[in-house]
Structure 1
Amino acid sequence: MDESLEYLFDPIQTDLLYLHRITTYNMGTFYHRHNAYELYLFLRGHVNFYIENRCYHLQQGDLLVLSPQEMHRSFALDNNEYERITINLKKSYINRLSTPTTNLSACFDYRPKGKGNIVHLEEEQLQQVLQLTSELEYILSSNDYGADILRNNVIAQLLVITNLAFQQTEFVPTDIMPELVRKTMDYIECNLVRELTLEHLSEVLYTNSSKISRQFKKHTGLTIRSYILNRRIELSKQYLTEGMSITEACYQSGFGDYANFIRSFTKQVGTSPGKFAKNGILAEL
């Protein structure tokens, strides 16, 4: 596989995408992100969930919120059934459901990136959410009069419950990401504009390069090279949306070669840097 394709941008084409899945194989080998918010409810299985530089072993009733900017992946640790419900929602859709006094996207937006993503639902809360998701499944398969209004009502209820759960929780999830991998990711994040090689990382982290590479691939699903490339592209997108020129965005995000920047950006984002900046794609997230 081409390393530059290991990181997946999984676009959501509709305002709402609902999936209730039971699998016995891994679907989340690599980090990915969406152009929509995500509610993720874990029901059963033996699964680790990675968000940015953190990792959590999930328990039944764990509810996760993910913003479009947050890279994440799930990894099943065995072949037992892995059951979860995911609901992807476009920001514009949530905005339409919100009111001046009730911002339904608060649980996604008002927290640091990669932090505060998980709350654990007690049994009563879990059953309340499962009742609503069951209603939603039925509504989404119906063409009855008023189905669209009922759908919006259920989604609004789910978002109210989710926001209240995050506002009221005292739950602190245990981060099990190995320290070496976290340090590697943190160093890369703080030094994207510098030349970053495996040899350099080995020197600053005082660790054998083979061990760094092996551990990083195991816990992120990515090679260090592809991870650096993707973080640089994400930084360049931020600069472009802020009005920076393509040339400035290229070099300020750590690319030393303009042609390579254009080629890599276009391949991963699906459009050229110029078109991205012109169309304001990130504003649609």
Structure 2
Amino acid sequence: MEEKISLYRDAPSPVIVYHNKNERPHVDVPHLHSQYEIYYNIDGAKGFFADKRFYDCTGFDLFAIPQACVHKVIVSRGAVYERCIINIDTKIIDAINAAPHMNRPLSWLAGSPFPKKANLNEQEHEEFMNLIKQYHLQESHELKRYAALIGILAFIGGFFLPGRMASPAGSPPDSIAEKALVLIEDQFQDIKISEIAETLFVNESYFSKLFKEEFGLTPENYLIVRKIAEAKKYLYMGASVKEACFLSGFHNYSNFIRTFKNFEGYSPGNLEKLTDPL
């Protein structure tokens, strides 16, 4: 068994704002959050999966991701990967939307089950990065930091007006490993690795080698973590453990419990007992 991977990202604070740059190979797996997420690709990412949809991803692409939306980024192999990510607790978004005389100003984030996409120009990028910097400068002053967050959200919201949003869909990826991701995302409840290799007209062992080199996991383990992410989504939405098992593509209940615990370190029945965010 390969290293265990948590599909819910740890979020120890109701608001997380970070700017990160990776020069090492980046490994990303399908995951979801109980918080809302703003994802901004500065450089390095070339594709984005979200709840069975594939999106092109280029420099300065901005995504607004609803809570409990299973997503994964494709990073160009060997690329320097730089991005900003903002996670915000649902209670904060709800409180801002409920403010009197405000007409739900964050409905662009909270009003859709699907991600929204926009693209910034160079000047807008500089302004956005300056707002991120200003947020971090307020570390010792809670109220000023909250005001800085409001400023970031007000700035971002302008990009998700109907006339500014970018086309959500993208053209299919080119590489064999990336094409396999499209097949997995579309059919993960039922598809087998042998069927993926056959569809892509490649030898199964060669396909497995290519996939692991590209994404850091064997296709078998990737398929499992995708199903577990889907199960977590259903559990988060209130499904029973048995319902989550079969809806996510596991066909044996005992195997689902065992596999979930092996990968996550706890059983799916304990998920509701964990602190929020999951």
- TM-score tier, shorter chain, comes to 0.7 to 0.9
CA distance in 2, matches of 1:178, 1:217: 16
Count of aligned residue pairs for this structure pair: 268
Equivalent residue number for residue 92 of structure 1: 91
* Contact 1:25/1:76 (8 A) holds in 2: no
Contact 2:65/2:109 (8 A) holds in 1: no
CA separation of 1:22/1:246 partners in 2, compared to 1, >3 Å: closer, same or farther? closer
Q: Tell me the TM-score normalised to structure 2 length.
A: 0.75
3-state SS of the aligned residue for 1:5?
Answer: coil
Give the residue type in structure 2 aligned to 1:257. N
What's the offset of the Cα at 1:79? 6.8
For structure 1, the residue ranges without an aligned partner over 5 or more in a row are none
Q: How big is each residue's C-alpha offset from its partner over 1:243-275, in whole Å with a ceiling of 9 and x where there is no partner?
A: 554344434433243333112223444542223
**Contact 1:12 1:34 (C-alpha < 8 Å) held by counterparts:** no
Instruction: Determine the structure 2 residue equivalent to 1:75.
Output: 75
Q: Which of 110, 113, 119 is the aligned partner of 2:112?
A: 110
Matched-pair contact (CA < 8 Å) for 2:48–2:72: yes
RMSD, matched Cα: 3.5
1:275 aligns with 2:275: no
1:165 alignment counterpart: 159
1:94-132 Cα distance to aligned partner (Å, 9 max, x none): 2223336224262365253xx54x322123422332332
**Aligned partner (choices 213, 224, 229) of residue 224 of structure 2:** 229
Query: How many percent identity over aligned positions?
Result: 23
User: What amino acid is the match of 1:198?
Assistant: I
**Secondary structure, in 3 states, of the residue corresponding to 1:9?**
coil
Aligned-partner Cα distance in 2 for 1:151–1:48: 29
Quickly say closer, same or farther: Cα 1:120–1:233, change in 2 above 3 A.
Answer: same
Equivalence for 2:118: 119
Distance 1:103 1:182, change over 3 A: farther
SS in 1 for 2:38: strand
Distance in 1 (CA, whole Å) between partners of 2:82 and 2:237 is: 40
Measured at CA, do residues 189 and 263 of structure 1 come closer, stay the same or move farther in structure 2, by a change above 3 Å? same
Q: Relative to structure 1, is the Cα distance of residues 281 and 262 closer, same or farther in structure 2, using a 3 angstrom cutoff?
A: farther
Please list the CA deviations of residues 169-207 of structure 1 after superposition, one character each: whole Å capped at 9, or x if unmatched: 25348656227556544544454443x432233344544
Q: Work out whether 1:177 is the aligned partner of 2:173.
A: yes
Which residue type is aligned with residue 234 of structure 1?
Answer: A
Q: Which AA in structure 2 matches 1:224?
A: P
1:222 alignment partner, SS class? coil
Unmatched segments (≥5 aa) in structure 2: none
Q: Which residue does the alignment assign to 1:62?
A: 61
In the superposition, the TM-score normalised over structure 1's length comes to 0.74
- How far apart are 1:138 and its partner, in Å? 0.7
Q: In the alignment, which residue of structure 1 is the partner of 2:195?
A: 200
Distance of 2:275 and 2:12 partners within structure 1? 14
CA–CA distance in structure 2, aligned partners of residues 78 and 248 of structure 1: 40
Letter paired with 2:153: L
Residue type matched to 2:58 in 1?
A: L
1:20-46, CA deviations, whole angstroms, 9 ceiling, x for partnerless residues? 3344333x3132535233323344x5x
Task: Tell me how far apart the structure 1 counterparts of residues 65 and 244 of structure 2 sit (CA, whole Å).
Answer: 26
Q: 1:212 to 1:244 in 2, by over 3 A?
A: same
